[in-house]
Amino acid sequence: MEVAEAYAPAHITGLFQICDKPADPLQKGSKGAGVCLKLGVKTRVALEKASENSIEIWINGQKQNAAKVSETVVNEFLARTSEKFAVKIEHTVEVPVGAGFGSSGAAALSLALALNEALRLGLTPIQAAQIAHVAEVKCKTGLGTVIAEFFGGLEIRTIPGAPGIGEVHRIPAADEYQAVCLS
């Protein structure tokens, strides 16, 4: 059994411009600014060789019938190997889901990083993050979240697109700053 874990921060977008005209999902994204949080999504992946691929997804201890972004990420990774696996994914989400904290992007990113390690595909972190970005775009759950979470901190996105394509400027911020969020 192969096991890997990864983390991605949550993200709050302060302002944004949608840039979804390109046909290539790697080129789609947003311009804008936001901040990443210390809280985020921790993902644990366990792989066992199997006769056919299967996916089991848990979020905060609850088995999911459908988790389209995670399923999209897993299927893209499984398509890159000739072996078959039973995949168990455990997402621990530290922020409210569906409240604008970029939890689907953080889940996709942490999952992509963990799968790359567990499957030993040898992708760079940017290549793994690009898979997470494309999954978010295809599932219509985010446009600039993955690139912001990949680079972290306080950021300004000046060119839309996936990590390695879009452009992010990080602004140094001291650790003593805190964001208070009410929802």
CATH code, domain with 97: 3.30.230.10
Q: Is the pLDDT of residue 175 over 80?
A: no
pLDDT score recorded for residue 114: 99
- CA angle (161, 162, 168) in 5-degree steps: 75
In a domain, 119, yes or no: yes
146-180 burial: b if 16+ Cβ within 10 Å, else e? bbbbbbbebbbbeebbbbebbebeeeeeeeeeeee
pLDDT (mean) for 89-98: 96
**Do 45 and 18 contact (CB within 8 A), yes or no?**
no
pLDDT tens profile 107-119 = 999 999 999 999 9
In a domain, 181, yes or no: no
In a domain, 163, yes or no: yes
In a domain, 180, yes or no: no
In a domain, 128, yes or no: yes
Q: Is the pLDDT of residue 183 over 70?
A: no
Whole-model pTM?
0.95
The domain total for the chain is: 1
DSSP 8-state secondary structure symbol assigned to residue 153: S
pLDDT (mean) for 56-82: 97
Rounded CA separation 73/14 (Å): 27
The domain of 101 spans 2-171
Percent of the chain at pLDDT exceeding 70 = 98
pLDDT score recorded for residue 61: 97
Rounded CA separation 171/157 (Å): 11
**Do 85 and 46 contact (CB within 8 A), yes or no?**
no
In a domain, 33, yes or no: yes
Residue 152 confidence class, pLDDT cut points 50, 70, 90: very high
Torsion of CA 148, 150, 155, 156, to 10 degrees: -50
Q: What average pLDDT does the chain have?
A: 95
In a domain, 133, yes or no: yes
Here the tokens at position 80 are 């890159």
**Do 43 and 5 contact (CB within 8 A), yes or no?**
yes
In a domain, 178, yes or no: no
